Structure 1
Amino acid sequence: MEVAIFLLLFSLLAITGLKADDTGDADINKYKLQKLSIVGLKTKQSSTFEEGDIDYSSQNAADGDTENGIAITDLEGNPAWSVYLQGEHCIGKVTLYNRADCCSDRLKMATVRAGVSNIPNRNERCGIQVAEHVAQERGGVIDVYCDPPLLATKVSVVLPLKQHLQLMEVMVEEYPLQRCHRPQRRVSILQETKEQSSTFDKMHPARVAGDGYILTLHKQGFAFTGYDSNPWWKVTLSREHCISKVTLYNRIDCCSDRLAGAVVRAGLSPDIHSNAQCGSPITAGQASHLGGILDVYCGPPLRALYVSVDIPDTEEHLQLREVEIEELKVNPCESDERDLSIIDRPTQQSSDYDERYSSDRAADGNRDPQWFKHYRCTHTKYEDDPWWMVNLQGEHCISRVVLLNRGDCCSERLENAVVRAGTSADIHDNPQCGDKVSSDMAAPIGGTIEFVCDPPLVARYISVDIPSDRRSFLQLCEVTVKELITKDACGEAPEPTEHVPVTEQNPKKVIQEPEPKEPVEEPNQKEVIKEPEPIEPVEDQNPKKVIKEPEPMEPVEDLNQKKVLAGPKKVIKEPKQQEPVEEHNPKIVIKEPEPQEPVKERFPKKVGGWVKIQEDAPRGEGP
């Protein structure tokens, strides 16, 4: 009898444990992409090219055969191909197989759209358009990632010009449906009325900045005013929305600096200057990047019928490649959670790969994930336990943190990364927010990874690190933060974990509150000083063309470097005394033992709390 009771209890415990494990995997599984078969589903294209007895019908692009058969439309304006899904799906990735025998460049500027409308151009854009250099490869395999994922019953490929649309095959991958149920959603402005203060010429009307296309041509593809005093652009929404974020796409060929000082406004008045400002004005640093993607967060969210962009108190051209708007869909404008801007807050990281990839790149409001091409992401050296940190300059109740991963290659390097938030300047003393990054979460190139702090955490410092017994890079293209504003949402701040006071033996973990300073122009990015010893992996210079999934390559380690990791905290040996030189990042002030006359030679590289002038290194491949 006792044996039977024991076996029964053991069985119940085993079942309970199994259920707990299954529940624990739910959050991880929602980040897993799964193939969605479209073979046999209904397809349609705007027209069908006819030549002899050869079949060029739409079904050829959804038959599962990537080598035979092709769907081709007539030579026409805005050709389109679509597949009708059975029910709603959370679309995360669409792969296009280009023509292999000739004419592959015809796929240039192709755009993937996904949504619930039967009209392709009314659905949201998935990822970015096919670039010209990507389309040139015959037989190329082009992966397009939907970030954020899109709830859809229909997936389409459209060309915003007069051309044949030709597709060897289209493949679709999806996330579990719950991932598309987000508290924020994009507001479609495709059919809404757009206006601007004036129009430079008939090729640059206001409507171009809300047509859903991100064109890169000089003579079209962006709204462009005349040289106006206080130039503006405005969209009138068909109903009230609770606006939480507005994204501006800057001009890509030249003159991006014209957007400096631009202000986003949202409200209920048709007079744009009567509406509240959303976020901060665009800084000169943000506007300096050609083709920049600039997020402006409304904190708190704003109830609006009108969203506008203007450049106050100046005479200038206003030029906008595209404007995207997001709203809160749960408890509109009454949410207890809001975006916490970290733009221009002091940042720091364990090391800089070189001066182009400094820590402030992850907190500049620019969401362009093209690391190698545009130098808009952070990148540490190849080292033990690399980390990045931002000082919020005050305590906040942190509810979630979102990381934007690298968009050209090597996204898997973020695997095992953890986010921490707390009141200690020593990142390892602060509690962890959410789970560590799994391989599935790190896989999407240019993907976003969300960490939910449960319970919310009182924090002055937020950090990202990769705790490991092997060396790695840490690379972040943007970090965004949300906080709770409800009174006592976080309760009282926990006492920091006891630890040995930080001294000069560990200079990386000593941060002073910096004095406010005027922004300093970035150093000349054309000068590239490389790491002389470590041999870095050669990366794909054309990451958007994906022929085969490459095996991850581990960089060659520098045999002269030793790991100094012992336990959860790093002990860094005191570097040899050298003359300190002037820091190029005024946001981070590191205590120097005895300040001396700064040396202004070449671009310095930080080593711990000191700065070391490196010898000229050979110039060549990037990391």
Structure 2
Amino acid sequence: MLLRIVAIFLLVNIAASANTQLKFAACYQSSTAAGGVCERAFDGRTNQNYGAGSCTHTNAEKGFWQAAIKGFARVRFVRIYNRLDCCSDRLNSFSIFLDGQECEQSYSSRKSFSVKTFRCNKVGQMLVIKNRIKTPLTVCEVQIFGNYLSGNPYGARLPMLQCKQSSTAAGGVCSRAIDNNDHQLYGHKSCTHTKNEKGWWQARTKSLSHIRTVRIFNRMDCCSERLNNFVIMVDGHECASYKSNSFFSIRAFKCNRIGQVVTVKNRKTSPLTLCEVQVYGKEVKLRTPKNRLPLVSCSQSSTAVKGVCQRAFDGNTNPNWHLNSCTHTKSELGWWQATLKERSLVRKIRIYNRLDCCSERLNDFSITVDGQECASFKSSGFFSVKTFQCNKVGQQIRINNRKRSPLTLCEVQVFGEKKKSAIKAGHFVGCFFESNHWPDFASLASTSNDMNRQKCNCLCSKRGTSVFALREGNQCRCGDNYGNNGEAERSDCRLPCAGDSNQICGGRMINAVFEVDKNHC
């Protein structure tokens, strides 16, 4: 048994030696006692006698020591030198973390060690040794082995702007979390601070983005345990959360949300303090649909604070109200409407929401074309920019608020085709995917071995619908709305009709959609 332990010890130390020894750049610890400053743990001296001035020392507490690596790295091993002139048993219950991720090995034993190498196998930059018992934390040297990464593991960092928070206390303004100063001591004026409340902090990316990771730096000179119960949201939708009896120094949270507004929301009553918030991902390039249709006139239910209706189609998509680019009604069940230059097939409508504040106001509304509802939105969150499938023929576009709040639109863009160049009555509209969970055409008019376009047209004309769909070669379905599940290629819905092989009758779960022609029945 003894030989096996010795063999494992030798293998771990040989493996550590095979990796590059990484360098620390800066450090701090929970407190300093007896002159044992944090820098002693990476000064290159492995003397294990405290009197030689080579070991750190905190107060008798559940303390920590932490240091930043010079660049992002994969840390494979951590080697710790214990104090040996006395008190070696103090270092017998602790954990090791890298960017909030616990390393593969921690330590808890009644026995003390002299020098021990721990497996880590984590990627990050901030190493933390955290005591789990109330004793002075003393380390005489900390060595780390692994490999530096060519870049950071989170991808491109997104610039943040226009921050705000629920309140400000002790001078901790919101901008401190996005000032590129990631120092974690409050005295360095690098951390935010709200009042003692269930507070929040918020900032937005420069443009619509796929937010993959949010990295948060906690305050470490005191009060770190305040940040132990919170959620992270993108455009009002939760993407990550944290709840623990413990706390972290730096932690990266996977998000994977598309949006623009990042919010950190405290779930308990305590000051919210963030020393830095870093957001990683990539900008989303909005694909502009074909054929933007011009709007020529508008009106709205009321106008407040000079937010006239014309602002929604002035070509200015800036989401900041103060730049005079957004409409505004009174707090009511309001509406906004505009007229197209001529009657058209409206395929899509894109709406830009206000983002400097109040984004959640626009979270329960419907969109109509000539009084026919073509899309709606209801959510506990909100959106930055959203494109709605419409597929209605008409000239009057209307957005109806379904709750009592100001209706604010920073831009409304309409895409489609002028009626003359669009579909003609009874003619092909397009191919569209179908879904059992969110069907476009739930109403089955007929399944027949002699199905063709003329037969389905007349069946749906009698039902009074505006369009009909042929599917699976023999199904006729009637409805007024389509496109909720996306548009398919025309080649995907070329199954011949059972009653006329020269006509197309959709595909497998794909509708071939036509407009009803009442004159041919």
So what's the TM-score if we normalise by structure 2? Answer: 0.34
More strand by share: 2
Larger Rg: 2
So what's the TM-score if we normalise by structure 1? Answer: 0.30
